[in-house]
Structure 1
Amino acid sequence: MTQYNSRFDTSLKAKHFLPKYWGTWLLLALLFICSYIPASLKDKFAAWLADKLYSANFLKKRKRIAFINLGLCFPEYTELEKDALMRENFRSVAQISLSLGEIAFRSKSFLRKRINFVGEHFVKEAEAAEQAIIFLAPHCYGVDFAGVAAISARGYPLSSMFNDYNNPIFDWFVTNYRTRFSRLNDKGTLYHRSEGLKPCIKSLRDKAHFYYLPDEDHGRDNSLFSSFYATQKATLPVIGRLAKLGRAVVIPTYTSYNAKTGKIDVICHAPLNTVPSGDEQQDTDLMNAAIEKVINENRAQYMWTLKLFKTRPEEGLKIYK
């Protein structure tokens, strides 16, 4: 089978060990240490730290964006309800962040035990039918755990996109841990977003599944407006074409950190059997409805701090100014 290797260079160079990068290397060393600390201890410290930092000045901008998003999506929420949700959101960010090193440094067997994979039978059924899968995964804080620890670590071949971090150490680190298990398969890869969807379609046709994050705002010219909770969202209308050209089934997927069990819940819903429908608007509406449904598994772990609604139906309206 064919490997579709990214043209984006994420290899380390001698210059990446110069003093200006030592802070980054120290951070990776801390992630390595944290990966061997029991989850119960990490979670308590992370929750305490998040509560302490919640009112910090450097987080005010992100909190403001989140409150605007929550107000658009859930106009029935009071300010106290938004605040409670975002406090839980910040705890989840801290808990997942301190666990991130596990994906890079711990064994496949360890990672599989850390995952509670709900709905895996949908994946097995698609594989048994020799169907490629588009994992429709909205932005939540545990997305890497789903792709690496739930899907790749179980031997399912997977392709996905990445954006560079403008930090070559992070680029090297993230691209390597995201492919550490998929490299063992003979198909699937990680490629840069600038390369477009062609590598994804080729991978899907080779039965390498695709991990697709569909909920970014790509601007008016590239989008259709579709309902998203109580508002309208500029949405990239490609899910139908991806499913058709890749001959793939679409499985909505969500990742939620469960501090009570100390595990990461990766939740697959039933496939969207009506996609592709042949109608871009209908497919986009069905996709957003599916995204809402998986986010409702745990609204507090969605990335509400993103500028999800930067493009509004009313031209010229800037809600995040």
Structure 2
Amino acid sequence: MKTAKQRTRDTRYTSYLHPRWWPTWIGVAAMWLGAQLPLKLQWWLGKRIGDLAYRFAGRRKQITDVNIRLCFPELSETEKHELVKASFRANGIGVMEIGLAWFRNPTSFMPITQVHGLEHVNAALASGKGILLLGGHYSTLDLGGALVTEYIEADVMQRDHNNPLMNAVMTRARERRYGVALDSRNLRGLLKQLKNNRIVWYATDQDYGRKGIVFAPFFGVPAGSITATSRIADRSGCAVVPFSHFRREHSPGYDIYFHPPLENFPSGDDMSDATLVNKTIENEIRKHPDQYLWMHRRFKTRPSRQDPNLYSKDAN
């Protein structure tokens, strides 16, 4: 029998008919049903999901609070508290939007979507070296990605889901929008797509451990930052184009931003390159700080192994 790890990339639904997969199928069905609701109702439900998580997900709340205190020291105590709560609500909406991305046609959201800077993508493609889309883990992650593919042809790098059935649903949904959904460890596949002048969505803004990193500032805090972005750009000659996507609540809709390619990148200096990448993502986060995934332990890996754990309860 295949292990869960071996089965991860099995996207055939017929492989998941055994009763042990039925709870996951029920969850998928609930996501599909939720995706059929009107958008405003989904946003309302998403906020309620966020409120419940804020109340009961104590560990994630603590991580979010630590991150916001580290990254926004200029805020008052009340402002920090409100940003933590707003972040949970924004990510609750993001949970509902996963269903929209996986089970609805994004074309229906085109009338309420605005794209900024698409000319930067078109100009970068003219070089024939491909584009690395430098994204981030915003709460609009899946829906934003689906909307992007209405304007450009792109592939995506993803971390496979631990649940093989959920991974099959996610991968099939993404490959209906993107050309290829590459495993995040498939560097060879990524370079092949860039060589074919493809656009590949790529995110670097999480803590991946000590391997292949430098400690570059992120909101002024030393953060373990991968150097792979520089290596990929150096080997392929691709353009690195920052982009982001956010929810627009005052007049319900979405904004997608593309920016000019990073200049002098790679520079040959890993620290300088990682600092530029982090600052670029930081600038996007500041547009809508509540719509970022602050629940992740971004500063888990510290410069010295003797440095205290920033997320331990004793540190707060």
Q: With structure 2 as the length reference, what TM-score do the two structures score?
A: 0.88
| Structure 1 position 86, deviation (Å) | 1.6
Matched, 1:31 2:31: yes
Structure-2 residue corresponding to 1:153:
150
Structure-2 residue corresponding to 1:222:
212
Distance (whole Å) between structure 1 residues aligned to residue 218 and residue 51 of structure 2? 30
Residue pair 1:102, 1:111 contacting (<8 A) in 2 also: no
Structure-2 residue corresponding to 1:182:
178
Listed as ranges, the gaps of 5+ residues in structure 2 are 1-6
Superposition pairs for residues 202-241 of structure 1, below 5 Å? 202-241=192-231
Structure-1 residue corresponding to 2:142:
144
Choose which of 79, 86, 100 in structure 2 pairs with 1:88.
Answer: 86
Structure-1 residue corresponding to 2:4:
none
Distance (whole Å) between structure 2 residues aligned to residue 108 and residue 67 of structure 1? 33
Structure-2 residue corresponding to 1:319:
310
Superposition pairs for residues 3-42 of structure 1, below 5 Å? 9-12=9-12, 14=14, 16-42=16-42
| Structure 1 position 33, deviation (Å) | 2.1
Choose which of 130, 133, 141 in structure 1 pairs with 2:131.
Answer: 133
Residue pair 1:222, 1:236 contacting (<8 A) in 2 also: yes
Distance (whole Å) between structure 2 residues aligned to residue 52 and residue 76 of structure 1? 28
Distance (whole Å) between structure 2 residues aligned to residue 307 and residue 93 of structure 1? 15
Superposition pairs for residues 274-313 of structure 1, below 5 Å? 274-313=264-303
State the AA in 2 paired with 1:164. Answer: D
Change (3 A) 1:101 1:52: closer
Listed as ranges, the gaps of 5+ residues in structure 1 are 1-6, 184-188
User: In the TM superposition, what whole-angstrom CA distance separates every residue of 1:152-200 from its partner, at most 9, and x where no partner exists?
Assistant: 233x3322222222212211111011110334xxxxx2222233x2211
Change (3 A) 1:182 1:160: closer
SS of equivalent residue, structure 2 residue 185: helix
Structure-2 residue corresponding to 1:186:
none
State the AA in 2 paired with 1:34. Answer: G
| Structure 1 position 53, deviation (Å) | 4.4
Superposition pairs for residues 67-146 of structure 1, below 5 Å? 67-146=65-144
Matched, 1:168 2:164: yes
Structure-2 residue corresponding to 1:193:
184
State the AA in 2 paired with 1:76. Answer: E
**How many percent identity over aligned positions?**
27
Structure-2 residue corresponding to 1:258:
248
User: In the TM superposition, what whole-angstrom CA distance separates every residue of 1:43-86 from its partner, at most 9, and x where no partner exists?
Assistant: 22322443354222xx1101111111122222223332222112
State the AA in 2 paired with 1:165. Answer: H
Residue pair 1:228, 1:292 contacting (<8 A) in 2 also: yes
Residue pair 2:106, 2:146 contacting (<8 A) in 1 also: no
